[in-house]
C-alpha cells in the first residue's frame, strides 16, 4: 500500500478517497461493487455515462505499462468479461481505456485502473475516429509487448471483439479519452471529474450495477 495513493486507501478502507474532492467537502462513499483476488470494481466519481466503471488492481502498480505479464493478462481477461456483461445490460457499445502514464497527472490517479463503460454506437464510432493510433495490438501483444518508456501512451478498445489501439507520443493531453468522449457527447467540460464529480450518479450506479458486476465473475464485497 502507498499511503498517499487514493486507490490504495480505498482498497484498505472501502470508501472512496480523493484529497481534493474530500477537502472541498465531498463525502467518502462506499462504492466497491465487486472484487476478485486481484481487482476491485467501482463506479467512476465523474461518470461520463450511467454505467462508467473502473477496474482497479488491489496491489499498487502505477499503470499498465508497469504491470507484469500475468497481471496484464488477468486484467484484460477480467475487463473483457465485465465489458461483455455491461453490453448485454445496456445494448450499447463497450469502450475500455487507460489514460496511460502521463507527464501531467493532475486529475488522474497514478494506480493501475481501466475504465469500462458503454456508449451509443454512433458516439463510440466518433470517439474512435478522433483517436489517432500508432498501433493496433492483439490481446497477446498487449500482454507481451513492452510499451515505450520514453513516451506517454493511451490504450483504447471499442467493441468486445476489436483489437486494442495504442497511441504513444512524447506528450499527450491529460485524460485524453475522457476529453474525447465528453466532447463527442456535447459536454466538453465534463471530462474533468474533479470539476464535475457527480455523486448522485455514483450512488445510482452503486444501487444498480452490482448484479452486472457479479455476473462478470466478481464477488460482492462486504465492508
Which spans of this chain sit near Zn ion (rule: CB under 5 A)? 2, 5, 7-8, 60, 111
CA neighbor of 108 nearest in space, from 183, 191, 187: 191
- State how beta strands 93-98 and 152-158 pair: antiparallel
Nearer to Zn ion, 8 or 151 (CB): 8
| Residue closer to Zn ion, measured from CB, 162 or 221 | 221
C-beta of 18: minimal distance to Zn ion in Å?
13
Nearer to Zn ion, 72 or 111 (CB): 111
* Buried b / exposed e along 161-175 (16+ C-beta atoms within 10 A): eebbbbbbbeebbbb
Q: Which is nearer to Zn ion, 1 or 24 (CB)?
A: 1
Q: How far is the CB of 9 from Zn ion (least distance, A)?
A: 8
Instruction: Provide, rounded to whole angstroms, the least separation between the CB of residue 95 and Zn ion.
Output: 24
Closest CA to 21 of 221, 206, 197: 197
Strand pairing category for 53-57 and 135-137: unpaired
Least distance CB 4 / Zn ion (angstroms): 9
CB of 59 to Zn ion, least distance (A): 8
Residue closer to Zn ion by CB (options 5, 206) is: 5
Nearer to Zn ion, 50 or 110 (CB): 110
Please enumerate in sequence order all residues whose Cβ is within 8 A of that of 121, keeping only pairs 6 or more positions apart, or say none. 92, 93
Q: To the nearest whole angstrom, how small is the minimum distance from the Cβ of residue 5 to Zn ion?
A: 3
> Is-contact 113 98, C-beta < 8 A?
yes
Toward Zn ion, which CB reaches closer, 63 or 175? 63
In angstroms, give the least distance from the CB of 98 to Zn ion: 15
Q: Which of 143, 151, 27, 49 is nearest to 94 (CA)?
A: 49
Amino acid at each position: 500500500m502507498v499511503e498517499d495513493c487514493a486507490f490504495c486507501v480505498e482498497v484498505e478502507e472501502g470508501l472512496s478517497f480523493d484529497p481534493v474532492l474530500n477537502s472541498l467537502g465531498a463525502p467518502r462513499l462506499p462504492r466497491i461493487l465487486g472484487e476478485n483476488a486481484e481487482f476491485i470494481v467501482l463506479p467512476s466519481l465523474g461518470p461520463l455515462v450511467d454505467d462508467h466503471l473502473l477496474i482497479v488492481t488491489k496491489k499498487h502498480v502505477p499503470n499498465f505499462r508497469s504491470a507484469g505479464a500475468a497481471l496484464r493478462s488477468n486484467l484484460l481477461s477480467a475487463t473483457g468479461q465485465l465489458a461483455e456483461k455491461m453490453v448485454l445490460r445496456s445494448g450499447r457499445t463497450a469502450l475500455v481505456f487507460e489514460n496511460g502514464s502521463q507527464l501531467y497527472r493532475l486529475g488522474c490517479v497514478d494506480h493501475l485502473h481501466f475504465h469500462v463503460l458503454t456508449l451509443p454506437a454512433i458516439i463510440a464510432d466518433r470517439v474512435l475516429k478522433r483517436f489517432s493510433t500508432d498501433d493496433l495490438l492483439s490481446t497477446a501483444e498487449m500482454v507481451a509487448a513492452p510499451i515505450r518508456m520514453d513516451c506517454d501512451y493511451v490504450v483504447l478498445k471499442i467493441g468486445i471483439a476489436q483489437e486494442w489501439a495504442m497511441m504513444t507520443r512524447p506528450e499527450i493531453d491529460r485524460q485524453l479519452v475522457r476529453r474525447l468522449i465528453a466532447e463527442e457527447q456535447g459536454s466538453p467540460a465534463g471530462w474533468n471529474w474533479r470539476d464535475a464529480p457527480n455523486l448522485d450518479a455514483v450512488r445510482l450506479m452503486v444501487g444498480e450495477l452490482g448484479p452486472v458486476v457479479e455476473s462478470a465473475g466478481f464477488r460482492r464485497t462486504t465492508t
